[in-house]
Every structure is written in C-alpha cells, then in structure tokens.
Amino acid sequence: MVDWYFLSVILFFGIIAAIIYKDRKKIDISHKVIFMRRTKRFGDMIDWVAQLSPKFWKIVGTIGIIVCLYLMFNGLNLLVNLSSYVLSGYVDEPAFQLILPVPFVQSTTGPGFIGIPFWFWIITIAFILIPHEFFHGIMARADKVKLKSVGLVLFAIFPGAFVEPDEKQLSKKKLLTKLRVFAAGSFMNIMIAMVILSATQAFLWEPNVGTGVTIGEIIEGTAAERAGLKSGMMIEKINNIPMEIGYADYSYIMINTPDSMSEDITIYSASHLLSSRLLAYEAGDEIILTADGKDYNIILGENPDYEELPYLGVRNPDLNVENKDMFFSVFPLLAFIWLLSLAVATVNILPMYPLDGGLMLKAVTDKYLKKHSDLIVKIMSYGILLVLLFNFFGPVLLNL
C-alpha cells in the first residue's frame, strides 16, 4: 500500500532541493548544511510595519521586556523544580523532550523526544520562527537600528527565517532599546500562544466539546455498579462540580500521548478528566455523582493497582463531542502551535548566551557591571546549560 503521507514529505524536500539548485547563485551555504537566502523584500516589509507608528512599537517593546523578564524567572524556577524532581527520583524519564518531525500521520513519543507529524511540524515552525524573527526586525527599525540582512534559512531539514540587526549600531544604543530588540522575538511567541489558546477555547473548543463524560463500561463489583450507573450514561457533575475539560488540558494530554490523533484521544482526555477529579478524594469517601440529571450517592472503593487512590469502576469514558473530526486536524495542530510557541519563548529567554535572554543579561551587565560582564554571562550560561543537560540525561544516569 502506498504511503501518501511519506511520499508528500519526500516531494517537499525534492521541491526544496530544486529551489536551492535553481536559486543557487543567490544562496549562501555554510558548513554544507545551512542555506541562507537573503532578500530585500522582507526588509522593506519590516521597515514599512515599523514606521507605521514607532512610538506604538516602543510601548509594545517595553511591555515585552516586562513580560519576558517574568517569563525568564519562571523558566529558571521551572529548571530548579525539575532538577529537584530528578534528584529525588520522582522523574524517571528526561524532564525535557526534543520535538522532532516524523514522516507519518500519527504523533509518537519515546525516551527524550516527541515526534509530531511532519506537516504539522512545518506549519508550527513557520508560526514560531517567522513572527519571532520579524518582530526582532520591527523593534529594531522602530528604534532606528539598521538591518544588515533579512531572509529565509534552511538548517539541514529545519526551515526558518532570520533578521540581522546592525550589531555595531545596536551596541551604541541605550539599554532600553537593546532590551526591546532582544525581548521582541520571545514576546511575539508568547502573544501568538496566548491568542491561539484563547481563540481556540472560545470559538472552537467550547461550541464543540460539551460538559460531561459518557460512561463506556461499568466494571463488575465496583462502586459504580453498586450505585446503579450504566454504560452510556453521561456523568455531568461530581459533588456539584461540572465535568469540563479545557483546551489547554487537552493540549497537554495530546502532546504526551502516542497516537494522539486516533479515535482514542477523546477517551484519553475523558479518562484524565475523571481521574483528576477523583484524586481529590480517598477510598471510602462518599461523593454525589450526577449522571443523566440524577444524583447518585457513591462510596469510592480502593484502586486495585494503587491502594492509596480511590476507585469508581468506570472504564473508557468519552468526551461529549459534537464533531470528532476536529480532534484529527484542527485541535492538534493549534495545540502544537501554542504549546511549542510558549516552550520556545521560555527556553529562548533564559539568561544563557547566545539566546535572547543571554543577550539581555549581557546588555544589563555591560551597562552596570562592565568589568565582570563576560564572567557573569559565562557563569550563568554554562550553569544553565549544565542544568538543562542534567534534566535531560539525569534520569537515565541516576537509574543505571
């Protein structure tokens, strides 16, 4: 049987190769795997947008600095917490995951990586890198910093864009200008993530995913059976709290679930929702469960696999969904975009040179601690790098 998805990936790279060959005189090749195509068109567009209202962009850029500093400290706090989890043995797999494209329609997971379908990956990369780089350029031009070059880049199989401000000119600008330019990319990624998450929740998720989960099966001899629950009933509330799952929760479940675009993803999501609600109780607790408009008084049993957890006895619950097709296309794609935009922004704004957060740190230390600037930046950069590596390899090494 012909795998059309795999063939489409091969065709994509064939077209890219043909474009590179045809345009080879205008493409700069570095280290044999980096292909850069500079163009004046993108630079003119960035300049036009920046000059619409430089004052407005400066205000936006200043807000971006504040947001990115907040994200920077949150990112550092996350690193510390993850490291403590690894050291305590609470985490037995890499705390960070590499996001890689796979040439088939289903996402997959493995030790240290999450594989997402190639075309979803390409679209996601475009939503992350192009606005990120262009906003660097807009902020630079709003503060009258020249752009040396603008264009598209292909690093091996990873497409992207680049904007190169004039570093000499930027170095002579005031600190606020530098921070605006350096924070711009991550700030744009955060804005894209928040807009996509909010818009999807309001306009796509809520009209399509209703309150409640449908019972798939009732396990014999359990609390659910004794209470009189039946397969096909809709669980609407537990102790008067509606059974609702938001798009953000679904997104986290989806990206960590193998075959997340299969029929089972709504079952995984409903199971997660039901389990998370029951975690608030212990075996022997009495709950009031509302199903099909009727209240059931249920005493929770003991989980046969984990004695400390409560057990209801419902298997394969499903979400209350109008159009399940959206779980195989729109919902996962938008989830990849907002989650990875936020992840890229968080990592990129860490005070680690040469990431944007590292450039922000260097700009501040150059201003106020000039003699020790390089040393401070090196210590922070290598320290964060070691923590990142520990979070990735630590769980494996500690379990040897």
Nearest of 349, 368, 376, 397 to residue 75 by alpha carbon: 349
Helix (H, G, I), strand (E, B) or coil at 4: helix
Q: What is the pLDDT of residue 68?
A: 98
User: Contact 57/364 with Cβ under 8 angstroms?
Assistant: no
Provide the CB-side half-sphere exposure for 7 (13 A, CA). 4
35 neighbors 24 (Cβ within 8 angstroms): no
Give the length of the chain: 400
Q: How many CA atoms lie within 13 A of 93 on its CB side?
A: 10
Query: What pLDDT is stored for residue 333 in this prediction?
Result: 94
Q: 109 phi and psi, to 5 degrees?
A: -135, 155
| Helices and strands, number each (H, E), in the chain | 13, 17
Distance, in Å, from the CA atom of 297 to the CA atom of 290, rounded to the nearest integer, reads 9
Helix (H, G, I), strand (E, B) or coil at 67: helix
**Phi, psi (rounded to 5 degrees) for 88:** -80, -10
Phi first, then psi, for residue 163 (nearest 5°) are -135, 125
CA–CA dist 172, 382 (Å, integer): 27
Q: pLDDT at position 397, please? A: 80
| Beta-carbon-side half-sphere exposure of residue 100 (alpha carbons within 13 Å) | 13
Please tell me whether residue 362 adopts helix, strand or coil conformation: helix
Measuring CA to CA, how many Å separate 363 from each of 120, 133, 395?
A: 36, 19, 35
pLDDT tens per residue, the chain (400 residues)?
A: 778 899 999 999 898 889 888 888 888 887 777 788 887 778 889 999 999 999 999 999 999 999 999 999 999 999 999 999 888 878 778 877 888 899 988 888 777 788 889 999 999 999 999 999 999 999 999 999 999 888 888 877 777 788 889 999 999 999 999 999 999 999 999 999 999 999 999 999 999 999 999 999 999 999 999 999 999 999 999 999 999 999 999 999 888 877 666 668 899 999 999 999 999 999 999 999 999 999 999 999 998 888 778 999 999 999 999 888 898 889 999 999 999 999 999 999 999 998 999 999 999 999 999 999 999 999 999 999 999 999 988 887 877 6
Residues 6+ apart with CB under 8 A from 185: 132, 133, 135, 136, 345, 348, 356
* This prediction's pTM: 0.90
In the chain the domains, ranked by start, together with CATH numbers, are 28-200+333-398 (no CATH), 216-316 (2.30.42.10)
